[in-house]
Chain A
Amino acid sequence: MSMVKKYIKETLLVLLGVFYLSPIYIMLVNSFKDRSQLYENVLALPEQFTLEYYQAAFQKMNFLSAFKNSLYITVVSIIFVVILASMTAWMLARTDNKLSRIIFMTFIATMLIPFQTIMMPLMQEMSWITRNIGIPMTNTHGGLIYMNIGFHSSMAVFLYHGFVKSIPRSLEEAATIDGASKWGVFWRIIFPLLKPTTVTVAILDVISIWNDYLLPSLTLKSKDLRTIPLSTFYFFGEFTIQWNQAMAGLVMTIIPVVIFYMFAQKYIIKGIAEGAVK
């Protein structure tokens, strides 16, 4: 390949990437423009840099509280999914009997159930529990986290199960002979070995829990409990749309995602590829 041809190809590839992200550019430049500038030319660079619209959007979206809520729900849900699913998957993979196989197959089969099929009965059940048993499952972060664990555990069990099968049993048997309990064997020997899968599970669940709108919208009713997607939705619904503020708000919601992407890019791409292939 001649040098010139190669440079042209390289440039075209980068241009493709830039063009692909042009909506982000449009969002960014218009978050600084006033009304007349915005309607004059949406594609032009802003004439001045002002954080005015960011401040307005920050307050209207209650951004800080939404960010904290999203972070709390995502982190706690994932910790539970990782702990519970890895324990379950290890036990299921290491127990050769009918019960264990039935449980595993049930986890896999239910992955076919779309959320819309169970959302209504789930909400009924959760408000029934709240009313009759007294555990506050609706309109609480705890309830939402509980449901997140339920929805994300089957995929996690599935991924861990596959990985456990590739770990030789001899490792555990040696430790058992040395007198370690199952608990000790799992946490000291197996769990550290499962790290690649733990990363995959965590990445996949961060993306889906952080961005989830429908489940939180059904469970969380109080304003101060809202997550980022929820507060974005209400921000667009409650106020007549002022596009500069709206764009500023959207830029803010994307910043955490971009930071996460910059730091974990390698793992994200690996996690996506693995999560899909299995």
Chain B
Amino acid sequence: MSKTRERLWFALFTVPTILIFITVVIIPFINGIVLAFFEWDGIAANPKIFVGLENFVKLWSDQRFLSSAFITIKFTVLAVISVNVLGLIFALLCTSALKMKNLARTMIFMPNLIGGLILGYIWQFIFTDAFAILGELTGFDQVFFNWLLDKDYALYAIIFVFTWQMAGYMMIVYIAGIQSIPDELMEAAKIDGANYWQRLRHIVLPLLMPAITICLFLTLSFAFKQYDVNLSLTGGGPVRATEMFAMHIYNEIFRYNNYGYGQAKAIIFFIIIAAISLTQVYLTKKREVEM
């Protein structure tokens, strides 16, 4: 086949996707970098004023931004721990010799399919009303009260719902990892007299490192980008105490109409996410090789 025809086929198969991809992702991304250096209120008729690096300098003395960043980091760290610990425990239970494991797996994964927005609304009701009644019934009113009105507990409420949503997802990934561990290895360890904890510590966990890496990486970026549950559960409140990074960017741009400044924050957001993801991938690849 001639070279030109070869190229025409290449174009026919790739150009439609590339064209859509460029217009939806690449152009806005480049434009977004440019706009971060301007001051603009988002109205097409109004001028965009070039301000250089000012948007990026202003960030460091912006109390709203700094507290939002702090909340996001706190949320991410706690959520990564709770999602993965719970996901791993569920996975171990659902790969045991029990007959009901498939039913349990089905039930635990269920919340993940329901969108974050809807989950947030369900829990809004539970935290507001069901918790009050639980508090009365059980007497544990230090635990069962309306979490959404307290500025610390409101964040824990989001972590709680996020964990409820994501633990099932991570469980599925961990199950796949556990199932790929050869049976002979476990049998041999059993014959050698290793008990359950020894097998878990010295065989399952080390061999599960690739799955753990993937799960940490996924939870980290899901948690950092959290928006839907944040929006429907607390809406950023009480008094901005739970306005996480993604919501903060949205509000800066579309609510306060600081398009340029908001976009600068969005670029920082990208840099952090990219750095986290790349570091994670690098570290886990290295560790897998060493073992």
Contacts and interface: CB of A to CB of B under 8 A. Distances in A.
A273 B107 contact: no
Nearest to A17: B107
Nearest to B227: A214
Interface residues of B, number: 85
A92 B11 CA distance: 11
Contacts of B259: 120
A13 B100 contact: yes
A186 B13 contact: yes
B100, B137, B262 interface centre (most CB from chain A within 10 Å):
B100
Contacts of A233: 117, 231-232
Contacts of A106: 26
Given A120-B35, A236-B232, A253 B118 contact: yes
A106 B18 CA distance: 10
A229 B123 CA distance: 16
Interface in A140-167: 146-147, 149-151, 153-154, 157
* Most central of B28, B266, B278 by chain A CB within 10 Å: B28
Nearest to A254: B114
A227 to B, nearest CB: 10
B140 interface: no
Interface in A98-121: 100, 103, 106-107, 110, 112-121
A21 B123 CA distance: 12
B269 A150 contact: no
A10 interface: yes
A213 B221 CA distance: 18
A72 interface: no
Nearest to A156: B17
B26 A110 contact: yes
B246 A30 contact: no
A214 B254 CA distance: 12
Most buried by A among B117, B169, B173, B267: B117
A64 to B, nearest CB: 18
A247 B125 contact: yes
Interface of A: 6, 9-10, 13-14, 16-18, 20-21, 23-24, 26-27, 30, 38-39, 41-43, 84-85, 87-88, 90-92, 95, 100, 103, 106-107, 110, 112-122, 124-125, 146-147, 149-151, 153-154, 157, 182-183, 186, 207, 210-214, 229, 232-233, 236, 243, 246-247, 250, 253-254, 257-258, 260-261, 265, 268-269, 272-273, 276-277
The 3 closest A-B pairs by CB, nearest first: A150-B24, A211-B115, A17-B107
5 contacts: A18-B107, A23-B164, A84-B20, A125-B28, A272-B169
Given A118-B32, A121-B35, A232-B121, 20 more contacts: A17-B103, A24-B122, A27-B122, A91-B9, A116-B269, A117-B266, A117-B270, A121-B32, A125-B27, A125-B28, A146-B24, A150-B20, A150-B24, A182-B13, A213-B115, A233-B117, A250-B121, A250-B122, A272-B172, A273-B175
